[in-house]
Structure 1
Amino acid sequence: MDTQSLQAFLAVAEAQSFSRAAEQLYLTQPAVSKRIATLESQVNTRLFDRIGRRILLTEAGHLLLPQAKRILSAVEDSRRALANLSGQVGGRLTLATSHHIGLHRLPPILKHYTQHHPEVELDLHFLDSEFAYQGVQDGTLELAVVTLAPHPIEQLHVVKLWRDRLCFVCAPDHPLAHAPALTLEILCQYKCVLPGAMTFTRTLIEQRFAEAGLTLPVSMATNYLETLKMMCSVGLGWSLLPEGMIDDELAELAIDTAPIHRPLGYLVHTNRTLSNAARKMIDALETTMEKG
């Protein structure tokens, strides 16, 4: 059972397509099919059912999937450990970040990093923070720089680097923009536009309102803060946005409640041997850590 066949198996299982798996692996579709056929021959059972255009895992395929992930993770971990002995900083660094952090926090860090470590192949993924957490947990990502989860998660090492103060905002011509003595209860009389229901940021916001016995009147939701800013600025509802996004298109509201902050930082798997490239990235990130 060779690693190339297992990689092809994982790619097809995740993409549910031989052609898309071939694109991901930079192979031809016949080459991927041959590797799957070799693996099926080695385990003496079919791993995929082909029903019309759909590619589905068989019962044996479902059984092999977690084992294949563990085998490939162990092999990659061994390669990193051996490469680290040389002290060289190179190879591929699979890094995920949220869209907001990638646009507003990471650019100077990435510029400095790539200038000082040109031998590193940066494999950068823009993902919702919740999906980035999952990627680090299952080993597909070595490092993630995202909004941190409200509660600790087993087997993840999490470090807070920064925090965003979330500001209550609305359009300058919204009725709330000129209302005196605002409270959470008054806000709930008007529609709001917020991050998606399952996001860490939304959970943080909902917790504040739940503590006051209030339910948020959400009319629309999106995980892209820049889109939320646009929706808010044209009067579709009030919102909460990071302080750094506030400009003349928005009116900041003074609400009778304590400030809401969301933690931002990086996470890695505690059982993973980090590459030298990842360690250098962490060093670069930690130089920007905010005090307090």
Structure 2
Amino acid sequence: MDSAKLETFLYVCKEKSFTKAAEKLFITPAAIKKQIDSLENEIGTPLFLRTASGCTLTPAGEIFQPRARKILNLIYDSVEAARQAKKEQLQKLHIGHSVRLHYAFASSLATYYTEAYPGEFLLFDRMKKTELLSSLKDRAIDGFFYINPQKGDFPHVPNILLGTSQIHAIVQQNHPLSKRKMITFQDLGLYDIFISAVLDHDLYESLESRFGARLHILDKEDRNSLIFSLQRNAIILYPCPVDHDISIPFGYPPLEIRLYYLKEQPNLQHFIQQFQKLLAANARTVIM
């Protein structure tokens, strides 16, 4: 489906006539008909009811019209962005992180950022924790954000609080605690406990002293192990809610999300604003 067909379709919608659309586009009515026929064949349904006096949209055409406009605008915007990139007019902001970003959060953040600041482009780069600081010092990235920094992590590096993420207890639909509004340490006594490796050492040590052998580390890289653990009727302590099963706030202080950088710059401030805006609007999922 190319942009020429979409543009022709939208002109016919506006003029309600193949002939008038042809005059606007400086082509023949036969050429208009050929493009519309090709588009309808590609979609698999008629888009216009054609009469001697002109044409009107079918129900399918009415549904397709606003989407065609969005597609065409996206094509134009993409072409313009590519041209700007060729001219080195886009300012790229390169942000590192060490966790698996939730796709919806990362996609929304990149979209919010680009729409708010059209001349700028946001690029994420996932790397090991040990690589974050060296990449920042080498100017390979402009900054990085980190969830739940511990004492001694990245000393003397300027940073700012982006927001917080409440720890959640993840349980199955039929779990005995699934109706709770909050889960506390006391509620954990009867179950196996899996704790995300992202969570802090103080929480782990506190749980280990209370529950010992029933406490297990959940590898943050292995999403399948999270689901498998739930099948055992366990409780998983995770740094944010998840999209499946039931997420219940856990009675423990929220985790900090901090942005680390070496040099203040306008596009970093833009990133901070959009991150905080999105986090406030949808705090459910930052990481997988």
Larger Rg: 2
TM-score, scaled to structure 1: 0.49
TM-score, scaled to structure 2: 0.50
